[in-house]
Structure 1
């Protein structure tokens, strides 16, 4: 069989620590997760990453892989792999992924797990994308995951599993939701690992989020900015009436305290900042052009002059 370099898949050296391997896996699986990645081979890359981490993320599997992947068992110059004749004696196979290399290495010749040995399953990681409004009110989502499991003959297969996930009110981008027991299955009757879902907000050009603070651009008419006005604004938490102070300039920031992402027991609510943007009416009618011309004559306004110096 062809040898597969799991270290190269994760982009780490063979001397990498467990934490470095875990960090590399989490970074890459976020990048290539099929639900969010634009890459054409995202699904295949995600499967390959899960397979590599399923081995290198487990100390015993990694030790077995390192032993079998070294000379004299690697066939020089051929990229192949030849396990020792007695490698399968006294071992049971364990679940991992469904590539030919993984199956041949671990399902047929054993995987380094002795009979009666129990070990908790590996944790799994995925990304879930939600709308910003879901962080304000909470939401329910249904997600589909591909998970490895052993069939009746001990071969590793992949099946699709559907989970109903509750998005709690007040989640922030980058936060991880833990689903206990929904990760990789354990060995020898041990408990399954956990599934960690990382929150990502769907792109929305109306908003910019920093922690729990939300920034929203709000267009206002020139007379609303100049004279002051009460305007109605649609925010992530609903419509509100906001007072625009007289003589407001474009870029002015109005703070709505506590109107950002809702707080939790451990963190206070964020604020909502409305950034005023002056929207000019078009001069597309004779009347509109006449009004602009009158303003030009009577106001004597030059926006490029510094009012402090006149230059």
Structure 2
């Protein structure tokens, strides 16, 4: 079945107030009422108008329609509910269209004692944290924009803040579920949940694959050539590591268990230090002389192994 645009049925924009919707409905229902209209489809048109006004004229049902009904479907597209839709549905009346019934069955809407109830939708958002927060845990304050229905029956947004605890051991892409912090329910129904997707703030020193962390570590040429013990700051604190002699740029030093900490059944990842040979600048006469001496005495050609 095709998606029904109730606003188009009443000839009003989506920003119309409750009074504007009522005025448009009354004007059209007088025009198409079967007792006065000579139109061949007056009866069917009147039913369409009654159904549209039954939704848009009720602030709670209008909010449900705006938020959940029109978003996934575009005018003219086929409306194909999943097989399990309608299991919770209670009839709104014999004149309801199949689209109306399937739409409100999908969102769990029901009329009990004259009141419409619907569980709030789940919300999804992203939250950025520093990599160090995944090692230690953290607290964040976020701002949420929550839809509400104003006195004129329009859906408006209000901003509220929420304190979020980032648990130790989270990974990028993981979702934190905050029960009851999603979209508010309608007619006293429970609110939906809020899902926050973890994203790491970009840092040129680090890259992350699952729970394994890769860190670029600059080393001096003599440290790489002769070997050395160096101090390295890492997300879990400073460590002393040994650089093996004759190391080349790009060599990986593995520190087992020093990646993102364990969480639940997931074990801790590893930290890989990627050696990056940093050349001292030839910005003094002494430094320039040392480079000239190496050029004369070492006779080193880094391109000797390249194919012609």
Q: TM-score, normalised by structure 1?
A: 0.66
1:97/1:271 CA distance change after superposition, 3 Å: farther
Number of matched pairs: 232
Give 1:301 deviation, angstroms: 1.4
Alpha-carbon distance in 2 for matches of 1:96, 1:119:
8
Match of 1:67 in 2: 4
- State whether structure 2 residue 50 is matched by structure 1 residue 86: yes
Give 1:74 deviation, angstroms: 7.7
Q: Do the aligned partners of 1:123 and 1:195 also contact (CA within 8 Å) in 2?
A: yes
Name the larger-Rg structure.
2
Alpha-carbon distance in 1 for matches of 2:65, 2:216:
47
Q: Give deviations 1:177-224, integer Å, cap 9, x for gaps.
A: 000001111122211100001111111111111111111111100110
Give 1:70 deviation, angstroms: 9.7
Match of 1:297 in 2: 296
What is the SS of the residue equivalent to 1:86?
helix
What is the SS of the residue equivalent to 1:292?
helix
Task: Pick which of 246-255 and 148-157 moved more.
Answer: 148-157
Q: Give deviations 1:103-137, integer Å, cap 9, x for gaps.
A: xxxxxxx9966433432111011111111111110
1:289/1:225 CA distance change after superposition, 3 Å: same
What are the residue-to-residue correspondences of 1:241-256 with 2, within 5 Å?
Answer: 241-256=240-255
Q: TM-score, normalised by structure 2?
A: 0.67
What is the SS of the residue equivalent to 1:230?
strand
Q: Do the aligned partners of 2:58 and 2:153 also contact (CA within 8 Å) in 1?
A: no
Q: Give deviations 1:54-80, integer Å, cap 9, x for gaps.
A: xxxxxxxxx9xx233598x386xxxx9
Give 1:291 deviation, angstroms: 1.5
Q: Do the aligned partners of 1:180 and 1:193 also contact (CA within 8 Å) in 2?
A: yes
Unaligned runs of 5+ in 2: 26-47, 71-99
1:259/1:272 CA distance change after superposition, 3 Å: same
Q: Give deviations 1:116-170, integer Å, cap 9, x for gaps.
A: 3432111011111111111110000000111012346655332111100000001
1:200/1:302 CA distance change after superposition, 3 Å: same
What is the SS of the residue equivalent to 2:272?
strand
Q: Do the aligned partners of 2:59 and 2:149 also contact (CA within 8 Å) in 1?
A: no
Match of 1:198 in 2: 197
Unaligned runs of 5+ in 1: 1-14, 16-62, 103-109
Q: Do the aligned partners of 2:10 and 2:49 also contact (CA within 8 Å) in 1?
A: no
Match of 2:186 in 1: 187
